[in-house]
A = this chain, B = another copy of it.
């Protein structure tokens, strides 16, 4: 796996690059659709490729560990073969899901004990175990096992947690070095910067992560409830320190505006459940702004879903029809809206990349962030 930095925008930190993996190349900046439990909800694999034009998707270690479990995934030859998806896959470490279940988990230096949301059974994740499971899943990009602090988080807790995340990272690297890729292709570990919203902690963590000289680096613990200004400020603090020649992945971010602003700060990779989750509730992201398709105003709007859209659903279905499907809770509505939103996110990143390459990124971005937040 290697990253090529192809263009550096002159009036921002935005970059265009190419991440080369054994499952193909990823043009950055890129958005990664979330395929929680081995499926991008409501979307066929062919649609991930042909309609959404995703180049990499994300799987959740916590969910895949519980179901179908590593035994089935190993028997299948890894997640790619299990779901018949042959492009790169990144897995989170399971940490985020585990922490989200406050009350049913316990964090110690050794790891995290938690209870399954499926059957209440108890499990214990350690940095070593998180690596082993991700090896079994067969992720091209394996994420370090970290603690994702909540927001707000007091300084002392954030500092102690960051230090533990760093110690856990060392254990992750040791485990990576002591184990082999499971399925004959490279699996790379990305470490994660923590430090909540404290500049000095973020700087300390970024330096620690930069020093690991990893194939790529991630920023975690953001998009957890903090104001957008904090998200941008922390991202900027960190990208100033992380090596330029490595891809930077901002975890769990965000709205289309968040994406563009963070591309401008030098982020290359994103993931977020927002495009699919909001799709299921009728919120559509478009190049002209946000549509709540359940609103009465779309009831008799028989124009295409999104005339500027890049996927076939944008032109095949109308706003009125999608509204009807979502109002009646028909599965097809969720399917159409998810394809639309994900295709929009991917197209937005594709255009950002083209703008970086042709030198018009900042001007375009400044116009877009106004339009994208409009309510239509």
Contacts and interface: CB of A to CB of B under 8 A. Distances in A.
Interface of A: 37-46, 63, 67-68, 72, 75-77, 81-84, 299-300, 302, 312-313, 316-318, 320-321, 324-325, 327-328, 330-336
Given A330-B39, A335-B44, A318 B75 contact: no
Given A72-B299, A316-B45, A324 B84 contact: no
A300 B70 CA distance: 12
Given A316-B45, A316-B84, A38 B324 contact: yes
Contacts of A63: 328
Contact of A331 (B41, B299, B321): B41
B324 A42 contact: no
Contacts of A68: 299, 320, 324, 327
A318 B75 CA distance: 13
A320 B43 CA distance: 18
B67 A328 contact: yes
B41 A330 contact: yes
Nearest to A42: B331
Given A39-B325, A82-B302, 8 more contacts: A38-B321, A38-B325, A39-B330, A39-B332, A40-B332, A44-B336, A72-B300, A84-B318
A324 B330 CA distance: 22
B67 A302 contact: no
A251 B293 CA distance: 35
Given A302-B75, A318-B84, A321-B83, A37 B330 contact: yes
Contact of A321 (B77, B84, B302, B336): B84
19 contacts: A38-B328, A39-B330, A40-B332, A42-B331, A42-B335, A43-B332, A44-B313, A44-B336, A45-B316, A46-B316, A68-B299, A72-B324, A75-B302, A76-B302, A76-B320, A76-B321, A82-B320, A82-B321, A331-B334
